[in-house]
């Protein structure tokens, strides 16, 4: 708490938590289970020690909030296969490098001679493409509403410059549809959602209204300071205790009711909704984005058709169940044994937003 911008306020919130949790537990007949739906929240929770601070009062679980982790195994295999084409240079965020495919990874393929370049921003990949006209640069589009506008902007730049050697392999994902898939699971035992502040900054609060409106579960859009998280937990417990679920904007310093219209406009200019496969969830209708037909020149899936053998699941890896909130990382039999950040078996141990990596780094004591 001493690392918070306002430790006194943190103490105040924390002092209220036990009684609120008790009231919520009385209504539920068991301690509440809350889910964070954002990899950055997963890391913030682990780093701040919140889970152990709140243990005994409530349980915190991770959801499908890490874009690298939710990318389907078959899509990872396609990216790796694309890296094997001699004319292609893969451009990617660094997190994708070590994600294990069925038989290889981008890192392994790079060591074997494939061209894989790391970029922090998609626009940098466009600049690289402009300076390397002899190369085919394929940007791996992995991310949620937070990242997609930046990828769309890279397409805008490529189109404006008339580049013919820049394309995007879109594995983008939309958060509201997967939340609907999660909420439709009859086995789901989540009593409240900590919603992703950055995603909501683009979508707006209203895009998540259905959580309380249709499914009658409380939800709070949350910022990324420990104080934001504690305040959201309080708001969720209050709603559970009162039996009045709402979708509350707890991050008003960034999130507007209608979101960021400019960001959505550029997304909608280049992409359209498409069915997508998610790790752990399978096919989720209209939960992904494909490039629009008129931009097929920039669509790597259209330009470089691939025949990839059927992917095999990662043996023993429980990432799918962790992403659905059915298991926590230490419940995976491989956690911290055969699966560690140095030797990751699944993506949740690779990604800087992965639940297993967060647990291992901050909450697990050997």
Residues forming contacts to ligand SF4 in the complex (CB under 6 A) are 317-319, 322, 329, 332, 334-335, 339, 345-346, 348-349, 356
Q: What is the DSSP letter of 120?
A: S
- Could you identify the residue written with the tokens 């085919």? 136
CB of 320 to ligand SF4, least distance (A): 8
**Are 213 and 272 in contact, with CB atoms under 8 Å apart?**
no
Closer CB to ligand SF4, residue 43 or residue 322? 322
CA 155/CA 318 separation, integer angstroms:
36
- Choose between 71 and 203: whose C-beta lies nearer to ligand SF4: 71
If the CB atoms of residues 104 and 239 are measured against ligand SF4, the closer one turns out to be 104
> Least distance to ligand SF4 from the beta carbon of 33, Å?
19
Q: How far is the CB of 43 from ligand SF4 (least distance, A)?
A: 15
- Count CA within 13 A, CB hemisphere, residue 288: 25
Instruction: Answer yes or no: are the C-beta atoms of 89 and 132 closer than 8 Å.
Output: yes
Least CB distance from residue 330 to ligand SF4, whole Å?
Answer: 8
Contact 281, 72 (CB under 8 A): no
Beta strand segments in 53-134, E: 59-62, 88-92, 115-118
Nearest approach, Cβ of 172 to ligand SF4 (angstroms)?
Answer: 22
Strands of the chain, DSSP E: 33-36, 59-62, 88-92, 115-118, 136-141, 166-170, 192-196, 219-222, 247-249, 271-278, 282-291
Contact 352, 42 (CB under 8 A): no
Please identify, using beta-carbon distances, which residue of 236 and 348 lies nearer to ligand SF4.
348
Is the alpha carbon torsion for 175, 289, 263, 166 positive or negative? Answer: positive
Within 10 angstroms of residue 262's Cβ, the number of other Cβ atoms is 10
Shortest Å distance, C-beta 364 to ligand SF4? 10
Q: Least separation, in Å, of the C-beta of 224 and ligand SF4?
A: 23
Q: Which residue is nearest to ligand SF4 (CB)?
A: 346
């Amino acid at each position: 708490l001493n690392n918070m911008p306002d430790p006194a306020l943190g103490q105040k919130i924390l002092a209220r938590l036990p009684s609120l949790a008790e009231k919520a537990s009385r209504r539920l007949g068991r301690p509440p289970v809350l889910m964070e739906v954002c990899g950055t929240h997963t890391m913030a929770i682990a780093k701040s020690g919140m889970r152990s601070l709140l243990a005994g009062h409530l349980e915190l679980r991770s959801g499908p909030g890490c874009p690298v982790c939710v990318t389907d195994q078959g899509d990872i295999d396609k990216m790796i296969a694309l890296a094997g084409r001699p004319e292609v240079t893969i451009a990617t965020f660094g997190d994708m490098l070590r994600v294990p495919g069925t038989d290889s990874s981008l890192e392994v393929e790079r060591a074997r001679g494939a061209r894989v370049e790391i970029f922090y921003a998609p626009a940098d990949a466009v600049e690289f493409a402009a300076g390397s006209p002899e190369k085919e640069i394929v940007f791996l589009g992995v991310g949620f509403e937070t990242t997609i506008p930046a990828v769309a902007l890279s397409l805008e730049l490529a189109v404006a410059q008339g580049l013919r050697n820049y394309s995007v392999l879109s594995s983008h994902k939309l958060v509201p549809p997967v939340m609907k898939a999660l909420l439709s699971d009859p086995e789901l035992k989540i009593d409240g959602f900590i919603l992703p502040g950055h995603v909501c900054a683009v979508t707006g609060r209203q895009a998540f209204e259905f959580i309380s409106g249709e499914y009658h579960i409380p939800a709070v859009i949350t910022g990324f300071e420990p104080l934001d998280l504690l305040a959201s937990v309080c708001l969720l417990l209050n709603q559970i205790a009162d039996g009045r679920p709402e979708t509350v904007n707890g991050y008003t310093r960034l999130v507007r009711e209608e979101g960021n219209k400019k960001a959505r406009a550029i997304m909608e200019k280049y992409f359209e909704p498409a069915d997508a496969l998610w790790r752990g969830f399978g096919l989720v209708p209209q939960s992904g984005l494909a490039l629009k037909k008129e931009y097929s020149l920039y669509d790597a899936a259209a330009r470089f058709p691939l025949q990839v053998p059927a992917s095999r699941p990662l043996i023993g890896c429980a990432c799918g169940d962790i992403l659905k909130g059915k298991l926590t990382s230490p419940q995976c039999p491989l956690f911290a044994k055969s699966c560690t950040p140095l030797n990751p078996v699944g993506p949740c141990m690779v990604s800087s937003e992965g639940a297993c990596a967060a647990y291992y780094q901050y909450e697990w004591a050997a």
